[in-house]
Amino acid sequence: MNITGYCPFGNEEDALEVRIEFSYTPGAGPTGPSYSSGGEPGYGAEIEFVSAKLVHHALPASLQPWLDEWAADYLASDYGRDKAIDEATS
């Protein structure tokens, strides 16, 4: 799955469009108690960074680790996580 982010470069007007690929694993709600178990807590959806690529520009290979780090941080942010979950569940 993919989302688009805008990596700041100098200032906001110069932001670079980045295609961020990620994997998505849906979460699960808690389960109630049963005869054999006291129940299990739920867990949230998991978003995992896969790759990042500039949309309209070529990127020198030496800068790819920087872009990957930015994209992983973007996905870890509340905004990026919400955007990825919206994309995965729509």
* pLDDT confidence tier of residue 10, bands split at 50, 70 and 90: low
User: Side-chain half-sphere of 19: how many Cα atoms within 13 Å?
Assistant: 9
Write down the pTM of the prediction: 0.80
For the segment 32-87, what is each residue's pLDDT rounded down to a tens digit? 888 777 878 878 889 999 999 999 989 999 999 999 999 999 999 999 999 999 99
pLDDT at 66 (0 to 100):
94
